[in-house]
Structure 1
Amino acid sequence: MKKWSSLLFLCTLVISSPAAIRLPAVLSSNMVLQQQSTVKLWGWSSPGEKIAITTSWNNKTDSVKGTRDANWQVSIQTPAAGGPYTITIWGSNTNTPIVLENVLIGEVWVCSGQSNMEWNYYNKLPDIGAELPTAYNSNIRFFHIPKTTAVYPQDDCAAKWTVCDSNTLKFFSAVGYFFGKKLNKELNVPIGLINSSWGGTPAEVWTPDSKVITDAELKAAAAKQQADARWPITPGYTYNAMIAPLVNYAIAGSIWYQGESNTGTSATYSKLFTTMIDSWRKAWNKEFPFYYVQIAPFKYGTPLIGALLREQQTKAMAHPQTGMVVITDLVEDTSNIHPANKHDVGARLANWALHDTYKKEGIVYKSPMYKSMEVKKGKVYLSFDNAPTGLMAKGKTITEVYVAGSDQQFYPAEAKIENNQLVVWSKQVKEPVAVRYGFTNTAIGNLFGKEGLPVNNFRTDSW
């Protein structure tokens, strides 16, 4: 009896002992907090425990009590970019505070997608190898989330904030790094980069499952994904584990490089992608900017699926506060789905942010886009947006241009630039009705805006 009484006493002691204050992984030393914002600090404690948070940039202390569910949250104001600072968190039931050190205030971006966002030094990217000798930059911080899944939304993840140096850079997204490096240089503020990416994943897994399974079109498309042991295909699984733990953390915006794994169901991609964007914005309670990369030319096994996916990505640009980077000119080998040039991809994403988010002038960031066409005397005259000083061809002749008549048969076309328009014709098509430029899986065109960015591939038909 005495034995059982002692055991009962120990159990009661354990149950009644106050729990230590705990923070989510994203709140840690070396983090970057979004500048000039209301940011949330949160965590777990004993129910009713009084929590005091002191921030060194203003020496102000905020207090909050742990809820009945043993969690707490407080909102604080951040100043303009700067640091390093400390944040000290005390609990009334604990003797030792949590001290977050080397905290910077700046701009925070989420970097997500599949392998072309995930790829790093260990994928033998020459751009990153060249960076290593001079990689150290205390004003660039990384939060790299390991690949994992969950059936339900999680409130924490296994990661930590680190300072950019030759070691931590090796494991981080190359595209994300080059994006952040340019922002840091041009804005002269600390940059926090959160990498949440997984090669091979379709967009469905980055979208809350409720948004996919309650929509007949999206549900049917998701069901066509082929299972693979290397990555998940179930809607919501990476959102739950790799995005949901972040949604309390204030960010400036997100960059995205994905789409290759959705080429088999391209018809619904724009709807899926914009649904995903909206769900993220709702979760963060912020209409943040979302900049993304159009997939590169590649030898897919089925004709046109790459072109159709790129068309869907172009369509998504109509969604508020989005921007797309065209990279057809950055590809050397269309048999490789992973173009090696990540530097220019990251830089082009940064240019979108610098102009649209940070209102920097004089930045070339939009590729020319097909606007309209007119047929006159057997020739098609095409006009473009985002080409203020006109078009140019890199080469003697303009390539990857096709024209068709009402029979819907496309023929290689001749083309020239005239008065800032593209003029297209073919002796085989007397009465043209449609033009396509670069509208194949592997096309690498040579038509550019005079500002230097490639013209987006397009078709004027819907056949």
Structure 2
Amino acid sequence: MKPSLAWLGVLLLLSPCAQARVELPLLFSDGAVVQRDRPLPVWGWASPGAKVQVDFDGRSATAKAAADGSWRVELPAHAAGGPYALRVRGDGETVTVQDVLVGDVWLASGQSNMEWPLRETDGAEAEIARADDPQIRHFKVPQSWSEKPQARLTGGAWASASPQAVADFSAVAYYFAQELRKTTGVPIGIIDSSWGGSSIEAWMDPDMLGLDAAALAEKMRQRQAKHDEIAAKTQALTARWQAPPAQDADWTVAGLDESDWADIRVPALWETQGYAGMDGVAWYRATFELSAREAKGDLELGLGQIDDDDIAWVNGQRIGGMERSWNVPRVYKVPAAVLRPGLNTIAVKVTDTGGNGGIGGSAAQVYLQPAGGQRRPLADTWKFRTAGIRVALQDGVNQIDSLLYNQMIRPLQPYPLRGFIWYQGESNAYPGGDQRYRELFAAMIRGWRADWNAPELPFLWAQLANWISAGDTADAQGNVQSPWAVLRESQSATLALPATAQAVIIDVGDADDIHPRDKRTVGHRLALAARHLAYGQKLVYSGPVYRGMTVQDHRAVLSFELQGSTLAVRGGGDEVHGFEIAGADRVFHPAQARIVGATVMVHSSQVPQPAAVRYAWRDNPTDADLSNREGLPASPFRTTEW
């Protein structure tokens, strides 16, 4: 999620025919997995007019390179198996791709929760240690972008699941592949093309977005003008801070003159506080008080999730630091020898290498805890100043229409796939964007399927997990603003497309962290959907799905699609939580709900004539506990879109 982007502006713009040798796309490299039981296109580049021959397990095909050097052949479908060698002869040389398996290939895409590596998840150490399946393979598409569609990836290689490699695999995709390996017995290849913080628009081409070339160019011009305006504001805000300290120690001591320092909220990334597009080094300072007794013992200091590197001091003494760990909560031990009764000073040097920067995470992660004492919050206003920064809004490319599609999706075509898995939506969960998502998402699915010439290629996604966003509000009348709830509804609406399914995960998120660490459950639920849609297995792959409402005796009676399962309450019993009910006045009230057979009966003494019901209609619906007997949660819903 946080690589340097300085090289991204340098793209491979040379014509393929400039290379006087036969070449293959990087997907056709050692260790590749290719799709079974489908015709296999193989393509590449050579000298114009060159004859190219492709051989694979006794099957051959030939082609002549076109004037631009491009060529393509199609080999017949092949059953699962391997390893095999793929040989391509042309331009007087032979290129051999070794250790090729034939199995099922899935494209995994989205933003940071799909990108999230196995090493940063629950149970990672044990899972990495036992990873030993050379028939699970992972290809990571580098984060890259282009203003025009590209034929070549900027990098990437296949890696087999082993303790040496699997830590960097997409965790969701790995657990998904692991289950499919067990149930199908064939090799599974994952192409991971994801970018943290990306919008859905960045993964769509102009046609999917309904933009012609002129409209796209104008939109790019407007975005650039807006970016220039924001960058100018950030530069004006930081212009007063020119000289960094002669040495770090100068800004770590107590009693420093902070009159020229600014105030900043902690925790909160600095981009959200006026410093948009800023990368480089900045400093934070704060103080805390200790009693004489507290100062005699060691102390635990929590500093949130610092993006990306940090060094921390207390009273001028270094007490910890981490590098390239933007998603790791900092917890440092402060020895008693460093502490003093009364006022103590914290100084933190933060280095941001790209993207977001600063002290982030949740308020609960910023604290001090004296030995044997109560934890005390340090989330507050701190002092802040920069010390060597640059302002460039290039990190926003993952939000711009088509830029990621052009460089991270287009070059993958027409590599045959078994299907898609998708985990994205957080960046579009804002008022307006949450409603529009249903149109965009459906258009993207249809567009990607058309790109692969497979109108019903299975498309599976993870619905947004529970989390508390800044947009989640409710007033005294029960009017809720929840962009995550609306975006979940938009995701559910997309199930109207054929060969689609979603994994509902409102029970495995983290209220304080947009990146929940339980990725095993997400991969498992996506795999259940794949086993049904892609492999035709008869199994329950989804929780209850709302189907309709009637009113009986002042109660709303809700019916559900159950896939042959039964309704249940997570944790047991038949009293269900997370429901609200409203009458014609459109004012929602907390409701009592009970499972009665295959229905849920919902009522409230404050609503004698029910008109509408909603369930789990918040960003973080922790009390929502309707599920089926398999433990799969019901999807959030509302009976009417008031």
The verdict on how the C-alpha distance between 1:431 and 1:151 changes in structure 2, with shifts beyond 3 A counting, is same
Partner of 1:334: 511
CA shift for structure 1 position 394:
2.7
CA deviations 1:332-358 (Å, max 9, x no partner) are: x31211111100101111111111111
Question: 1:177, 1:350 → 2: CA distance?
Answer: 11
| 3-state DSSP of counterpart to 2:608 | coil
Partner of 1:343: 520
Give 1:413's aligned amino acid: A
Question: 2:183, 2:504 → 1: CA distance?
Answer: 22
The verdict on how the C-alpha distance between 1:327 and 1:260 changes in structure 2, with shifts beyond 3 A counting, is same
CA deviations 1:287-335 (Å, max 9, x no partner) are: 211000100121111131110000000100101111111011212x312
Question: 1:164, 1:450 → 2: CA distance?
Answer: 33
CA shift for structure 1 position 18:
8.1
* Contact in 2 for aligned 1:387/1:449 (Cα 8 Å): no
* Contact in 2 for aligned 1:33/1:78 (Cα 8 Å): no
* Contact in 2 for aligned 1:387/1:450 (Cα 8 Å): no
TM-score by length of 1: 0.90
Partner of 1:191: 188
State how 1:134-213 maps to structure 2 within 5 Å.
Answer: 134-157=130-153, 158-213=155-210
CA deviations 1:3-56 (Å, max 9, x no partner) are: xxxxxxxxxxxxx9981111111111110110111111111111111111121x
Give 1:348's aligned amino acid: R
Mapped pair 1:53 → 2:54? yes
| 3-state DSSP of counterpart to 1:126 | coil
Give 1:301's aligned amino acid: A
Mapped pair 1:98 → 2:98? no
TM-score by length of 2: 0.66
| 3-state DSSP of counterpart to 2:436 | helix
State how 1:42-441 maps to structure 2 within 5 Å.
Answer: 42-55=43-56, 57=57, 59-91=58-90, 93-94=91-92, 96-122=93-119, 124-157=120-153, 158-214=155-211, 229=393, 230-231=395-396, 232-264=398-430, 265-287=433-455, 288-302=457-471, 303-331=481-509, 333-361=510-538, 363-386=539-562, 388-395=564-571, 397-441=575-619
Give 1:29's aligned amino acid: D
Q: Stretches of 4+ moved more than 4 A in 1?
A: 218-229
* Contact in 1 for aligned 2:55/2:88 (Cα 8 Å): yes
Question: 2:219, 2:609 → 1: CA distance?
Answer: 38
Q: Which stretch shifts more, 297-306 or 269-278?
A: 297-306
Question: 1:334, 1:114 → 2: CA distance?
Answer: 18
Question: 2:512, 2:169 → 1: CA distance?
Answer: 25
Question: 1:136, 1:355 → 2: CA distance?
Answer: 26
**Higher share in strand:** 2
Question: 1:19, 1:391 → 2: CA distance?
Answer: 65
CA deviations 1:355-407 (Å, max 9, x no partner) are: 1111122x221121111111111111110012534211134542111111111
CA shift for structure 1 position 447:
0.9
Give 2:408's aligned amino acid: M
Question: 1:242, 1:51 → 2: CA distance?
Answer: 27
* Contact in 1 for aligned 2:616/2:637 (Cα 8 Å): yes
Question: 1:263, 1:224 → 2: CA distance?
Answer: 20
Question: 2:126, 2:181 → 1: CA distance?
Answer: 19
Aligned-pair identity in percent equals 36
| 3-state DSSP of counterpart to 2:108 | strand
CA shift for structure 1 position 248:
1.6
CA RMSD of aligned residues (A): 2.3
CA shift for structure 1 position 213:
4.9
Question: 2:486, 2:223 → 1: CA distance?
Answer: 17
Q: Which stretch shifts more, 408-417 or 442-451?
A: 442-451
Question: 1:307, 1:53 → 2: CA distance?
Answer: 51
Question: 1:358, 1:394 → 2: CA distance?
Answer: 29
Give 2:197's aligned amino acid: G
CA shift for structure 1 position 137:
1.1
Which consecutive residues of structure 2, in runs of 5 or more, have no partner in the other structure? 1-16, 228-276, 278-392, 472-480
| 3-state DSSP of counterpart to 2:618 | coil
Question: 1:210, 1:274 → 2: CA distance?
Answer: 13
CA deviations 1:76-102 (Å, max 9, x no partner) are: 0132100000111111x32x3111110
CA shift for structure 1 position 246:
0.3
Partner of 1:4: none
